[in-house]
A and B are shown apart, each in its own frame.
Chain A
Amino acid sequence: MELHRKKHGFSNWLIHLWFIVFSLFCIIPFLYVISISFSKETDIALHGYQLIPKTFTTFAYEYLFESPKVLISSYLVSIAVTVLGTILSLIITAKLAYVLSRKDFRGSKPMSFFVFFTLLFSGGLVPWFILIKNFLHIDDTILSLILPYVIMPWHVLLMKGFLSDIPPALIESGKIDGAGEWRIFYNIILPISKPAMATLGLFIAFVYWNDWYLALLYIDSPNLVPLQYMLYRIMNNIQFLSTSLQSGNISIDLSKMPNETARMAMAMLAAGPILFVFPFFQKYFIKGLTVGAVKG
């Protein structure tokens, strides 16, 4: 293969060129967002958005942090939802997936059908919305941001794929030693499934962190607005940002408000954590995705 590759040096360069161009296509639009967030509002009004700021300034960020109450509250909501949701979802999903992966348990097949049928048919948005709002009465609470995503059939499927690799002899030996099912799960299955749990945990955390949908449907209280939904409301109405900033007891001259730059700075603050963990994420994501693709 190596020998062969050298003979095609030129076409290889073409391939590299193509990927470099496409990589730029993937990155440059986002670089604009970063650049705008570090630009001066007046420069933007004069010259439009620039890939490199004419005058570099962190004013938009300082402005956002002047009255950080809203920002901090959104961060706290997102963090709380992500942490609590991930722990709850991870444990419950892993247990269910483990039961479905146990071939020696006769109920695993009908149970699998019961769980995965929901991938094929659903009641749709309206009944789901009414259930949460009018029957469970958890709308406008933090529970409405967590509970609906605790079990996602796709995550169960993924975890089942991981767990079906566990040799049955291992479970058998636990049984012979007289361990109950719960002990087998906690003392044998969980310790050897750490990589799988890490992957699944990242998938779940990613879903919770990036979610705006549940907030869009159920949240009215300003102090329960997660980051992504906050970002949407700002996009919809930049005034929202100024009015909520004013509620922090600092009067702000609206004409001095850095509309465009603050907007993009806000986008950066919401996307930031993802950017930082992305390289770490990617490794586990690839692992999970490929398992899903091959086995799912």
Chain B
Amino acid sequence: MGNMADHSVLKLEAPVGIEKRKRKGFLREVIRNRGIISLAIPGLLFVIVFYYLPMFGLVLAFKDLNFSKGIWGSDWVGFNNFKFFFTSDAALEVTRNTIVLNLSFIAITNIMAVAFALLLFELSRKAVKLYQTTIFFPYFLSWVTVSYVTYALLNPELGVINHLFKMLGWEGISWYFEAKYWPFILSLAFLWKNVGYSMLIFYTGLLAIDKTFYEAAAIDGASKWQQIRKISIPLLTPLITLIVLLQIGRIFYSDFGLFYFLPADSGALYSTTDVIDTYVFRALRITGDTGMATAAGLYQSVVGFALVLTVNLIVRKFNKENAIF
């Protein structure tokens, strides 16, 4: 923040002790702006305490935590925690599940949301409002509530789906013990809860398109389908790209509630539903392996950060305006 010093002042004065003067300039700047800085202080304090202090806690990944010795006094164990995590089958399994499931969510939800937005764009405002409300509604339920909904559908004896199967003469399925169905169930649940939100974003993007494009195209005799293909989709592409890339940047993180509540923490389902976040949570709260949980968390943070940076680089290449930083 040294460059905050006033340059015109620097030029006038001799080059002696530029560093000192810079610091003085910085201090003066702080004092001059003390009013506005004091407005930001409560917020900054919360950021420091709840976001930056935990970053120092990441050293725990290299330690064997012993509360009687404290975090700094605990013994260093080098990369043992990582070794323990990466040599277990769990590392591969949770990484695979995290990436595959998130990719599936991103693909399904965005394709549906774009399609819905394009269709919605053809309807009158009144109809839009009605459909938007019904499709948006699940977004406002918590995952706990959604887990009750899925339970009503999937309950093996009483559930709606098995009831339907019975009526069709099919065998019921013990949903909470059959891991292979869960990638689909989770994808559907994610779609159910989130498609309204994504649809809304894309619909807003469509509203921002200049109406004269469509009018001109209609005069030239372009069909609806041609208008969608040649105007709507190309003009919506930057927004779609941005949103997909942002989501891919966060692919190492998952919506904890979805993976924790919907499968009802059933051990039989871990092979397809356990993701990094739920794994870390269990390692911390159930098995109490703090070191390994921190190591797995650090792995998530670092790879996640690298992904965000990569994605940002790609966005910058496409469109500098859309880059996050």
- A interface list, Cβ under 8 A from B: 1, 4-5, 8, 11-12, 15-16, 18-19, 22-23, 25-27, 29-30, 32-33, 36, 44-45, 48-49, 92-93, 95-100, 102, 105-107, 110-111, 113-116, 118, 120-131, 134-136, 147-148, 150-151, 153, 156, 180-182, 185, 206, 210-213, 217, 228-229, 231-232, 235-236, 260, 263-264, 267, 270-271, 274, 278-279, 281-282, 286, 289-290, 293-294
Asked if B100 is at the interface of the complex by the 8 Å CB criterion, the answer is no
The answer to whether A235 and B47 touch across the interface, beta carbons within 8 angstroms, is no
**Given known A29-B152, A95-B42, A118-B52, contact A12–B123 (CB-CB < 8 A):** yes
CA distance A153 to B48 in the complex (A): 12
CA distance A64 to B277 in the complex (A): 34
The answer to whether A95 and B40 touch across the interface, beta carbons within 8 angstroms, is yes
- B interface list, Cβ under 8 A from A: 1, 4, 29-30, 33, 35-40, 42-44, 46-47, 49-58, 60, 67, 71, 116, 119-120, 122-123, 127, 130-131, 133-138, 140-145, 147-153, 155, 157-160, 162-163, 192, 196-197, 200-201, 204-205, 208, 211, 214-215, 218, 224, 239, 256-257, 261, 264-265, 277, 280-281, 284-285, 290, 293-294, 297-298, 300-301, 304-305, 308-309, 325
The answer to whether A44 and B158 touch across the interface, beta carbons within 8 angstroms, is yes
Minimal beta-carbon separation of A259 from chain B (angstroms)? 10
Contacts of A279 in B (CB 8 A): 133
CA distance A126 to B30 in the complex (A): 35
Instruction: Sort A-B residue pairs by CB-CB distance and give the 10 closest, nearest first.
Output: A127-B57, A96-B43, A124-B297, A123-B54, A181-B35, A127-B54, A151-B46, A99-B40, A23-B134, A210-B142
Contacts of B284 in A (CB 8 A): 125-126, 129
The answer to whether A29 and B153 touch across the interface, beta carbons within 8 angstroms, is yes
CA distance A260 to B300 in the complex (A): 39
The answer to whether B131 and A98 touch across the interface, beta carbons within 8 angstroms, is no
The answer to whether B58 and A124 touch across the interface, beta carbons within 8 angstroms, is yes
| Given A18-B119, A110-B1, A289-B197, 4 extra CB contacts under 8 A | A15-B123, A99-B43, A263-B148, A270-B142
The answer to whether A120 and B308 touch across the interface, beta carbons within 8 angstroms, is yes
| 8 Å CB contact of B201 from A26, A131, A212, A293 | A293
The answer to whether B50 and A148 touch across the interface, beta carbons within 8 angstroms, is yes
Contacts of B304 in A (CB 8 A): 121
**Given known A99-B36, A150-B46, A286-B200, contact A231–B152 (CB-CB < 8 A):** no
The answer to whether B138 and A30 touch across the interface, beta carbons within 8 angstroms, is yes
Q: B54's closest neighbor in chain A, by CB?
A: A123
CA distance A102 to B37 in the complex (A): 11
**Given known A15-B123, A16-B127, contact A8–B54 (CB-CB < 8 A):** no
The answer to whether A118 and B40 touch across the interface, beta carbons within 8 angstroms, is no
Contacts of A48 in B (CB 8 A): 157-160, 162-163
Minimal beta-carbon separation of A17 from chain B (angstroms)? 11
The answer to whether B152 and A281 touch across the interface, beta carbons within 8 angstroms, is no
The answer to whether A127 and B192 touch across the interface, beta carbons within 8 angstroms, is no
The answer to whether A98 and B285 touch across the interface, beta carbons within 8 angstroms, is no
